[in-house]
Amino acid sequence: MKEILRITIGLTISCLIAAFVMGSVFTVTNKAKKHNEHMDLQNTMLGLLGYSKSHPAPPDLKLHPVYRYIIEDGEARYLGYMVPVRKNGRGAYELLVVDLEGKLRERSGLNISPEQVIELGERETALREVLKPPKRFYYADSFIVATLGKRRLAYLLPGEFPGFKTFIRVMLALSPSFEITGLEILEQEEDPGLGGEIVQDYFKNQFVGKSFKKLKALKVVKKPLPEEYRRYLEREKYKDETFTKDQIEQIQQKYRDADIYALTGATISSKAVTNGVKNVVKKFAYREKMLERIMTQERVLAAF
């Protein structure tokens, strides 16, 4: 009996030690994983803004995330925007609660710093302090405003939409007038050699330079991609060939209002990206204009 008890206690202690070790390893590796994911996303955003290791971002470049939530209060539904603001010369966040007609219903300061706001748990804790039960809230999406000094440089939009097989995750860069200045495919599972080619420069760079007006009517055409246009779209690959400034301007002018040339054998994937990008930008433009109007009316001192 004593031997059984001794073995039982030994096994229990061993299991507790193993659980502690595994838990500690998971905590450390999970933090490292989150850090790496954050850095990868940060580098993607900087790349879309034209910065790299050889051309580092200037010190006065700032990225200001804005988070959108769905808020429910009984049967009523609202939109909640977590907006970065300047308060007493420091960065802070406010919650703007907007009804579905675009009217401000509530405005609250949030107990969260710009450093904490990137963590979902920290945001939810801050929101619970001002959104008391029976109100409920759900994360919807986010966007980032990039500023250079006092100038608004670009919007960065994470997006997700259905592809031919599964969902496609992207990151878009827009000018202040909603012209597309960059597109990066973050995640996709389209067929290799067919729809998987959406990650190639000769496809995704076709969206660059498309104005908001053109984007609304953008279509996919089943025509061969002109060779001069392809070489321009992939010009970063050709280290032994450079385009003159005049050549670049001529090609940009020639294809600025062109539709998207479909990938060979992957029209569905081509249309999925085109329609997905159109929807992401159009919805964002509508919401951003509404948010700008509200912030102006309420004199919100936005950080951007």
* pLDDT per residue as tens digits for the range 204-224: 999 999 999 999 999 999 999
Give the SS3 label for residue 103.
Answer: coil
**Structure tokens of 186?**
């973050």
Q: What angle do CA 44, 47, 48 make, to 5 degrees?
A: 90
Determine the pLDDT at residue 243: 86
Based on the fold, state whether residues 163 and 268 are members of the same structural domain. yes
Domain ranges, residue 253: 153-287
Question: What pLDDT is recorded for position 17?
Answer: 74
Residue 24 lies in a domain: no
> pLDDT, tens digit, for every residue of 162-205?
999 999 999 999 999 999 999 999 999 999 999 999 999 999 99
pLDDT (0 to 100) of residue 265? 95
Structural domains in the chain (count): 2
In this predicted structure, what is the pLDDT of residue 226? 97
Residue 16 domain-assigned (yes or no): no
pLDDT score for 195:
97
Residue ranges, the chain, pLDDT below 70: 1-2, 5, 8, 10, 12, 14-16, 18-19, 21, 23-35, 239-240
The reply to whether 77 falls in a domain is yes
pTM for the full model?
0.87
Question: Is residue 33 a part of any domain in this protein?
Answer: no
Q: Looking at residue 204, what is its pLDDT? A: 98
Q: CA angle, corner 219, sides to 290 and 267, nearest 5?
A: 125
Backbone angles phi, psi at 131, to 5 degrees: -105, 85
Distance (Å, whole) CA 56 – CA 275: 33
Within this chain, do residues 178 and 133 fall inside the same structural domain, yes or no?
A: no
Burial class (CB in 10 A: 0-12, 13-18, 19+), 186: middle
Whether residue 219 lies inside any domain: the answer is yes
The pLDDT, as a whole number, for residue 19 is 64
Identify whether residues 93 and 134 lie together within a single domain. Answer: yes
DSSP state of 237: G
Is the domain of 131 the same as that of 157? no
257, two tokens:
């209002």
The owner of tokens 């039960």 is: 133
Q: What is the structure's pLDDT at 166?
A: 95
pLDDT in the model for residue 26: 60
Is the same domain home to 140 and 181? no
108 and 208 together in one domain: no
Examine residue 44 and state whether it is found in any structural domain, yes or no: no
In which order are the strands placed within the sheet that holds 151-162? 104-110, 90-99, 76-87, 61-73, 136-148, 151-162, 167-174, 180-187
pLDDT value, residue 238:
76
Distances (CA, A) of 38 to 45, 112, 125, 160: 11, 19, 21, 18
* The pLDDT value given to residue 2: 65
Predicted local confidence at residue 16, as pLDDT:
66
- Say if 84 falls within a structural domain: yes
Tokens standing for residue 104: 């401000």
Distances (CA, A) of 291 to 21, 182, 260: 48, 23, 31
Q: Who's near 262: CB < 8 A, 6+ residues apart? A: 220, 221, 222, 223, 270, 271
Same domain, 138 and 120: yes
